[in-house]
A and B are shown apart, each in its own frame.
Chain A
Amino acid sequence: MKPRTMDLFWRTASWLSGLTVSASVMFLIGFLLWQGIHALSPALFFGDTAWQDALFGRKPVFEGIWPAVVGTLSLVVLASLIAVPIGVAAGIYLSEYATIRQCRWIGSLVDLLSATPSIVMGLFGFTLILLLRRTMLPNAQTGLMLAAACIALIVLPYLIATTRASLQGIPEESRLLGASLGLTKWQHIRHTLIPLSAKGILGGVVLAIGRAAEDTAVILMTGVMARAGMPRNLWDKFEALPFQVYYLAAEHRNAAELAQGFGTALVLLIVTAALFGFSYWIERQAARRWDSG
């Protein structure tokens, strides 16, 4: 009978898809673990330098990825410091204060921002430096601050979206609280809405952090180097984990550097997996709150 064979075909096809994709991902993780697990050791991070000296940059680290870890960490922290206040504030405005027209316009432009490819954002950062060099600051260079600002721009739409979604997700009864207590608009937002949506916003922040940590295309154009040591100040060149992975894949000089590449990839995967897991857990908590309520 026709429906039965069609069903069988459909079922087989869906099982195949599921198995293919699961197998590929499991293989990817397994391969990285298998090749990279040997490389995981203090030598991966610090090379020949003692860890006490390397930790705060007292002695330079050669052939170790600690500067890359510090670089990625600095990028993430700086980008978050820039993006989180602006993103959450914009999200609050769009959700609570904006008129329909403003919502549509600003929403469209923010959507466009989210659609910008990361290499174009890196190009933007690079041209910013070119412009500055031609006009106001002839000594301007690419560096940590520029890269962090560009990453903050990439990450901004995520923050705005999650803030908006969390605020919109608050049920009507809770919103009536503010009016019933005679709170002003801002007092209502600050004391009622934000505490209720805090978990959702936090989930968005963690997601943004994960995105900032894994980005490569932006930093390619705005100051990352394969060997730059610890960044000495906010305008310095820096290293970063994803760029190390790319560089070592393309240009490892011997088997030891290749092993280091696998180790770096594994470290990056662990870091992003941890961030992702944390964000997933927070999201589940936030969702559960409204389900049970």
Chain B
Amino acid sequence: MRSRRFAASRAIRYIARREIWIERVLFLAAGLSAAVVVAIFSMLTWFCLPLFTEHRLGAVLEWRWDPIHQHFGILPMLFTSCLLTIIALIVAFPLTIGICSLLHGVLRNGVLHRMLLFLLHFMTGIPTVIYGFVSVFVLVPLLRWVFEAGTGFSLLAAGLTLSVLILPTMVLVLHAELDQAEARYRLTAEALGFSPEQTIRTVLLPACRRALVVTVLLGMGRAVGDTLVSLMVAGNAAQVPHSIFDSVRTLTAHIALVLATDSHSMAYQSVFAAGLFLFLLMSCFQAFLRFWAKHGTVFK
């Protein structure tokens, strides 16, 4: 029977040791989460290494993708990814401002406000593949019928679908910021006799300049990283588009298509280069985001 004399100090030492171990385990979890992204980057770079060491980088930085004739350029896809993002933003950003104005202006309180907010929250939960699915059967034939230019599988179709995809996230982020700005400025603005629209236009939105940039960056990040929408509705032709009705292929769809179908080793390496491009692009967006956002991390 152990002596009960030092039971208290034994218990304290046990608890102290346990505390240290718990902190170590928690640190391990946090460290692991951080290490993963380093592993991803290393993996991508490792598989791209042959491109650099064998001076074949030029082969990947071409404007033609035609493996049969030994052209492995992914620049058309990079161009498309950027162009598609810009188009999606051009459509989504004004809509975001419009909906936020609605939520903070005319519909500030009441049933419609809650319903609109609920709808937006619901949209964030709709899977990407569903947006693509409905687009294939509704938007693509519609575009084909209305414009009679191209097959309907085009930059425009992908851009429109992407804009609906990124819209809810953008609206919710901006809405949260506007809420805070409103708490500060609404009474002052009303005392000065501003109408709701004037308040939003001249007081609230300018006060949220930073949030506007954050919103745009978030939307861009989401649009660049999306795969299914462009895989299903953009047509997948590996060319530089000359009009918005042209069939195009993004970097993300390119990775999915080539790894699922191609089998030349040079094409494999071009895919890793595409992956690295994407990763670096998103890192840039993230860096800008951290620079602009007021409080650290903003997700979804």
Contact = CB atoms under 8 A, between A and B. Distances in A.
Contact of A127 (B43, B106, B127, B290): B43
Contacts of B67: none
17 contacts: A3-B195, A22-B116, A22-B119, A25-B119, A28-B130, A86-B33, A114-B299, A117-B225, A117-B278, A119-B225, A119-B252, A120-B275, A158-B299, A186-B23, A214-B128, A217-B252, A217-B256
Given A111-B286, A124-B43, A272 B127 contact: yes
Contacts of B132: 246, 249
What 5 pairs between A and B have smallest CB-CB spacing?
A: A17-B98, A276-B125, A117-B225, A214-B127, A89-B29
Interface of B: 15, 18-19, 22-23, 25-40, 43-44, 47, 94-95, 97-99, 101-102, 105-107, 116, 119, 121-134, 136-138, 164, 167, 195, 197-198, 200-201, 221, 224-228, 231-232, 252, 255-256, 259-260, 271-272, 275, 278-279, 282-283, 285-286, 289-290, 296-297, 299-300
Of the candidates B30, B132, B201, B232, the one having the most CB atoms from chain A within 10 angstroms of its own CB is B30
Contact of A269 (B130, B137, B290, B297): B130
A13 B283 contact: no
Contact of B130 (A6, A153, A186, A268): A268
B198 to A, nearest CB: 6
Interface in A16-50: 16-18, 20-22, 24-25, 27-28, 31-32
Nearest to A217: B227
B197 A112 contact: no
Given A119-B255, A217-B256, A268-B129, 18 more contacts: A15-B106, A16-B98, A24-B164, A25-B123, A28-B130, A28-B131, A87-B33, A113-B40, A121-B40, A123-B275, A184-B19, A217-B228, A220-B260, A246-B133, A249-B232, A268-B130, A272-B127, A275-B125
B152 to A, nearest CB: 14
Contact of A109 (B27, B38, B101, B138): B38
Given A15-B102, A214-B127, A221-B259, A106 B197 contact: no
Interface of A: 3, 6-7, 10-11, 13-18, 20-22, 24-25, 27-28, 31-32, 85-87, 89-90, 92-94, 97-98, 102, 105-121, 123-124, 126-128, 131, 153, 156-158, 160-161, 184-186, 210, 213-214, 216-217, 220-221, 242, 245-246, 249-250, 261, 265, 268-269, 272-273, 275-276, 280
A28 B132 CA distance: 11
B134 to A, nearest CB: 5
B111 to A, nearest CB: 14
A110 B278 contact: no
B190 to A, nearest CB: 15
B125 A273 contact: yes
A160 B33 contact: yes
A188 B255 CA distance: 48
Nearest to A131: B43
B134 A11 contact: no
A250 B125 contact: no
Contacts of A249: 132-133, 136-137, 232
A116 B127 contact: no
A25 B121 CA distance: 12
Contact of B127 (A18, A115, A186, A242): A242
Given A97-B26, A216-B227, A273-B122, A115 B283 contact: yes
Nearest to A244: B129
A265 B131 CA distance: 10
A260 to B, nearest CB: 13
Of the candidates B32, B35, B43, B272, the one having the most CB atoms from chain A within 10 angstroms of its own CB is B43
B99 A18 contact: yes
B258 to A, nearest CB: 11
A85 B29 contact: yes
Given A89-B29, A124-B40, A220 B125 contact: no
A246 B228 contact: yes
Contact of B30 (A14, A27, A90, A111): A90
A113 B37 contact: yes
A6 to B, nearest CB: 7
A34 B88 CA distance: 28
Nearest to A124: B40
A246 B198 contact: no
